[in-house]
Amino acid sequence: MSDWADVGRVLLGSWPSQVAGWGREAIAAYVAELAARGITPDAAICAIRMSESPFPPSAGDLQQAARRDHSAPTCEEMLVLVRRAAKRDGRDDEALAHPLVASFVTRYGWDRLRLLPIDDPERGGLHRRDLQGAWDRHVEAFDGRELAALASGRPDGLRQLDPLHALGVNPKALPA
pLDDT at 131 (0 to 100): 86
Element (H, E) at 50: helix 41-50
Q: What percent of the chain has pLDDT over 90?
A: 15
| Positive or negative: CA dihedral 100, 101, 103, 108 | positive
- Residue ranges of domains in the chain: 4-67, 75-152
- Which own/partner contact pairs does 10-15 have at CB distance under 8 Å and 24+ positions apart? 10/44, 10/45, 10/48, 10/49, 11/48, 11/56, 14/48, 14/49, 14/51, 14/56, 15/54, 15/55, 15/56
13, pLDDT greater than 90: yes
pLDDT tens by residue, 148-158: 554 555 545 54
For 65-79, how does the pLDDT look when each residue is reduced to its tens digit (9 = 90+)?
Answer: 887 766 778 888 888
Q: How many C-beta atoms lie closer than 10 Å to residue 43's C-beta?
A: 20
| Residue pair 98/81 in contact by the 8 Å Cβ criterion | yes
Q: What is the mean pLDDT of the chain?
A: 80
* pTM exceeds cut of 0.85: no
Residue 90's nearest CA partner among 100, 101, 77 is 101
